[in-house]
A = this chain, B = another copy of it.
């Protein structure tokens, strides 16, 4: 076709869609984590064609931004400060589980076996990313351990370099805390590393296998 061979310079109006409002929506969606231009376009087209979905998204985003806050004691996501876990009479204040982010609380609560409380660091020490000890709430952690008379701190961080560094830093920090003479030393533990339940031995990575071997238990 002759039309397809010559570029006759019909402008495409700058933006790709003939609608600045739709382009703006695509841009604001594609700035969200994990969304590229293609997924953002797909979402934007869905939102402008399904007004119920768009209204629900607008309302739920506005409502969540208004109501969601972080618990001043533990850092969990909540709508009441302090959160229900921190104020529950049924949770043992002497048992404190330290996690990196509020999302890390979810698997514990879903499983339902844990009867202690949490402390959210909100990040991990990472000199390369410029996260130093001053940037994390270690002061509030020490305060919490002291005030609540915590007996056991369970460190539940990722087993990455940053997670290990942060765990070691906290171990040093918390072991140096003065304790009342009538109480045992603060007990510090961490989650076990090993083969996941139901995990196929043939496909396990070497580091996990080595750790599982190193920490093998009596039968």
What residues of chain A have their CB less than 8 Å away from a CB belonging to chain B? 1, 3-13, 16-22, 24-25, 27-29, 31-35, 39, 41-48, 51, 53-58, 60-68, 76-79, 83-85, 88, 90-91, 95, 102-103, 106, 109-110, 112-116, 154, 189
Contacts and interface: CB of A to CB of B under 8 A. Distances in A.
B57 A112 contact: no
Contacts of A66: 21
Nearest to A108: B12
Given A33-B43, A53-B31, A95-B3, A63 B19 contact: no
Contacts of A60: 21, 24-25, 27-28
Given A18-B77, A31-B53, A91-B10, A64 B112 contact: no
Nearest to A24: B60
Contacts of A20: 79
Contacts of A34: 39, 42-43
Contacts of A84: 13, 18
A47 B22 contact: no
Given A19-B67, A43-B34, A7 B113 contact: yes
A33 B47 CA distance: 10
Given A17-B77, A110-B12, A61 B57 contact: yes
Nearest to A95: B3
